[in-house]
Amino acid sequence: MLLQRQELSDFVRRLLRHISSSSSRRKQMISSSLKKKRPGKKNRASQIWEKEDLISLLPSRARADSLIQTYLDVFETTYRVFHVPNFLRRYNDFWKSPTDTDECFILHILLAMATVNAFVHDGPERNDEDRRKQAKKSIRAAESWLRVQSQKWVTLDIFQIHVTLFHAKKLNWVEFKSSWESIGTLVRLSMAAGLHRDPTYLSQKMPVFEAEMRRRLWYTILELELQEACDRGMQPMLSADNWDCMPPSNIHDEDIGEMTIDLPPERDLHEYTRTSFLCTAQKHLPLRLEVLNKSNSLKNGIDVDLARKYVETLQGLVEGLPNWPETPSSAVANVLSRLVLYEQLMILQQPFAISQDTGLDHHRSFYFRATQRQMAIDVMSLYSSLPRSEALQIFTIRGDSFRAVLAMCYEAVQSSGAMNSELYNHEAEIHLLEETMTLFADRVRTLHKGFQLYWLVSAAVGLVKVRYSKVPNDDLVAAETVLDAFTLLEQINQCTGTNNLDHNHGIDPRLNSIEVTGNMQEHQESHTISSAIDLFDPDTFFAGLVDMDFSPDWLLRFDDPYSCPTINDL
């Protein structure tokens, strides 16, 4: 959005000119700790993992308990994979006799821990990089184990491995750029096994417990595929006509077990269970699929009247969402049930909020822009409402925060000189943007990935500060933005124990020649950068993004240096 405007492009270039433009140093950054070379597929597949090898990957019992509890609190309250009482029973049995446990369940434990390992900081690992390496070992073990399994009969245990493997890779940014293709493969595998058909149509003899678990897995996979399509800017693979599997029941896990003969009565949606998010989300899943399919269509887009109709429908759904009691177990489900609708609202309004050529009158244009601005604020506020660890986990598997920041920044810049600008609390909005920007920075510190998204968000927020700052010199904000970026990079290098910085090249001397006053002076003095990485050449920044560890969710058109994601790119 903002990158469609030359104004942000110019501001980014101003930032970049504070950095040395040596091409050798640019290559050096690419090979630094932020973008390590991945091992070849041949090496990854060579090891055959036996049960003893899998057990050797497990941490101490105390660390494992902490990781499993975090996984259950975040993911088993939203994307259902396991039956929690059954899982905990088998988990406790495992620690009594590890060698008597089947390999499938050991992988369930390993992948559940790998999913949250980078975000739980009570273990003996020295730093985030150690935690991520440990998670990657579990991921590679699961991949190698799956390769040698028969595809003739794929059990529920195998599907549980596939879904937790997808989560573990996503949360650790392992093969992040191929996650859209991975979830597509999982959808096809699920349909080949008949998960898209309701169990009652497949067999009247299927146990109630197995049928319910199949339904949970199918709707979890649908939600994951829809999210990947949102982030990638593609049409979803399926429509509501492609399955007849009934939705999961809003029941507590304790209400059902392997020996259950009849499914218990479903609880009201206002009564929270671990499956409440899926039960609520499936009610508007067909609408979200329809909206995304039309929004990302290359031939048949959405006109303004249909867009407004969709917006009003989605807003009605938001207002009708159940308000579950605020407890630690329901916090993520409460937030995610709103995020999935807010993201659809942002996608719908984006082309009408940013385009100058829609032919809309002033009132309609203002409607879309104001609603887009409010949705962006709501998305960022929801992330701020969660505890930091939970927020960072949900933030990492979704792309709506990046969309929200750009939408908020675009509208703030556009309205900065308007007469109605006084209607907005700019100080509060900038504070919210800065809070969200710290999530981008924390993700870089935790995973050592995603620096380019952080860089673009920093530039966008910097431009907003320029518009609302009383300091007339744009270079002051540019200098502060660059210094923050260098500080983050230096922290990563210190954590990884690497020093790939070229000490013959430093920050552009112009940074030191800027006359700085007040808080800006204090900020500069508190950030002493001993060396700097040449991030990008200002003249090739946009074309050079293709070489960087840049998420494919935000593809740029490299033939146009001022292009940015449109509704069909996002």
Provide the token pair at 198.
């309701």
The Cα–Cα gap between 89 and 192 comes to 31
Task: Report the percentage of the chain scoring pLDDT > 70.
Answer: 71
Find the mean pLDDT for residues 523-547.
37
Quote the pLDDT of residue 15.
67
> Coil, helix or strand for 19?
strand
Higher-confidence residue of 369 and 28: namely: 369
Q: What is the pLDDT of residues 319-350, one digit of tens each?
A: 999 999 988 889 999 999 999 999 999 999 88
DSSP 43-101: HHHS----HHHHHHT---HHHHHHHHHHHHHHTTTTS--S-HHHHHHHHHHHHH-GGGS
- Torsions phi, psi of 507, nearest 5? -65, 145
Quote the pLDDT of residue 30.
45
Q: Helices 474-496 and 6-16, interaxial angle, to 10°?
A: 60
Quote the pLDDT of residue 344.
96
Find the mean pLDDT for residues 282-299.
95
Provide the token pair at 179.
């996650």
CB-based contacts of 521, cutoff 8 Å, min separation 6: none
Asked if the model's pLDDT at residue 225 lies above 50, the reply is yes
Quote the pLDDT of residue 500.
38
The Cα–Cα gap between 2 and 567 comes to 13
Please report the sign of the dihedral spanned by the C-alpha atoms of residue 27, residue 28, residue 31, residue 35: negative
Instruction: Confirm if 566 and 557 have CB atoms less than 8 A apart.
Output: no
Instruction: Confirm if 394 and 332 have CB atoms less than 8 A apart.
Output: yes
Quote the pLDDT of residue 412.
83
22-31, 240-249, 274-283: least confidently modelled range: 22-31
Please report the sign of the dihedral spanned by the C-alpha atoms of residue 488, residue 492, residue 495, residue 499: negative
Instruction: Confirm if 394 and 436 have CB atoms less than 8 A apart.
Output: no
Closest Cα to residue 226, out of 353, 343, 382?
343
What are the start-end ranges of the H helices in 501-550? Answer: 510-513, 518-525, 541-544
Q: What is the pLDDT of residues 395-454, one digit of tens each?
A: 999 999 999 999 998 888 877 655 455 556 778 888 999 999 999 999 998 998 888 888
Provide the token pair at 533.
């990485």
Please report the sign of the dihedral spanned by the C-alpha atoms of residue 506, residue 509, residue 514, residue 518: positive
Provide the token pair at 254.
């304790």
> Coil, helix or strand for 507?
strand
Closest Cα to residue 339, out of 273, 391, 297, 411?
391
Q: How many CB atoms lie within 10 A of CB 422?
A: 8
Instruction: Confirm if 493 and 445 have CB atoms less than 8 A apart.
Output: no
Using left for φ > 0, alpha for ψ between -120 and 50, and beta otherwise, residue 448 falls in left
- R_g of the chain, CA atoms, integer Å: 24
Asked if the model's pLDDT at residue 527 lies above 60, the reply is no
> Coil, helix or strand for 143?
helix
From residue 183, give the alpha-carbon distance in Å to each of 164, 167, 224, 227, 329: 12, 10, 7, 10, 27
> Look-up: residue for tokens 């308990």?
65
Find the mean pLDDT for residues 172-192.
95
Find the mean pLDDT for residues 150-154.
80
The Cα–Cα gap between 353 and 372 comes to 7
22-36, 97-111, 421-435, 506-520: least confidently modelled range: 506-520
DSSP 378-412: HHHHHHHHS-HHHHHHHHHH--HHHHHHHHHHHHH
Quote the pLDDT of residue 392.
96
Specify the DSSP class assigned to residue 530: S
- Furthest C-alpha separation in the chain: 79
Q: Helices 285-295 and 276-283, interaxial angle, to 10°?
A: 60
Find the mean pLDDT for residues 128-150.
91
The Cα–Cα gap between 351 and 409 comes to 15
Quote the pLDDT of residue 508.
37
Asked if the model's pLDDT at residue 533 lies above 80, the reply is no
> Coil, helix or strand for 374?
helix
pLDDT band at 6 (very low <50, low <70, confident <90, very high): low
Q: What is the pLDDT of residues 23-47, one digit of tens each?
A: 444 444 444 544 444 544 545 545 7
From residue 203, give the alpha-carbon distance in Å to each of 195, 256, 260: 12, 19, 17
Asked if the model's pLDDT at residue 217 lies above 80, the reply is yes
Find the mean pLDDT for residues 351-358.
68
The Cα–Cα gap between 448 and 443 comes to 7
Higher-confidence residue of 163 and 522: namely: 163
Please report the sign of the dihedral spanned by the C-alpha atoms of residue 365, residue 368, residue 371, residue 376: negative
Instruction: Confirm if 437 and 530 have CB atoms less than 8 A apart.
Output: no
Instruction: Confirm if 56 and 148 have CB atoms less than 8 A apart.
Output: no
Quote the pLDDT of residue 553.
33
> Look-up: residue for tokens 């990089």?
129
- Torsions phi, psi of 485, nearest 5? -65, -45
